[in-house]
Amino acid sequence: MEQDVEEASSSEEVTLRDHCIILRPLGKGSTLRIELNIITVLGHKNIFKLSHIVRTKEHIYMVKEHAAGGYLVSHTEKVGCLQEEQAHHIFTQMAYAVNYCQENSVAHRDIKAGSILMDGKGNGTV
């Protein structure tokens, strides 16, 4: 299953940059295609959903589902350490997500507080 890629003009790219958070630059060439294909195929409640892909002259953007809670690392910087129950909840979700990836022959390779996105209810996605 391959995600449709939208073509965007320069003015649409400016709008995209003004209204979205740029999380990280993507790879190039075949590495990028592999990553995008993996993301579009995986379907687990603790793996973020890819809304769509936008290609401009200079960049390719992955538009993800909204994560109202932001990154886990930012959350802990604001509020301090997590309570044990909350940490256990997030850890369990990440274990399920990693297990799902491994069952589908995918290795995540970058699980850390800075790559876990939180929804508004305290659930984590990678």
Residues marked active site are found at 110
d(CA 106, CA 99): 9
Looking at this protein, which amino acid is placed at residue 72? Answer: L
Residues whose CB is less than 8 angstroms from the CB of residue 104 and which lie 6 or more positions away in sequence, other chains included: 41, 42
Q: In the structure encoding, which two tokens stand for residue 31, read together?
A: 């590495």
Distances (CA, A) of 123 to 11, 68, 86, 94: 35, 10, 9, 10
Please report which residue ranges of the chain form alpha helices under DSSP H. Answer: 10-19, 29-41, 72-79, 84-103
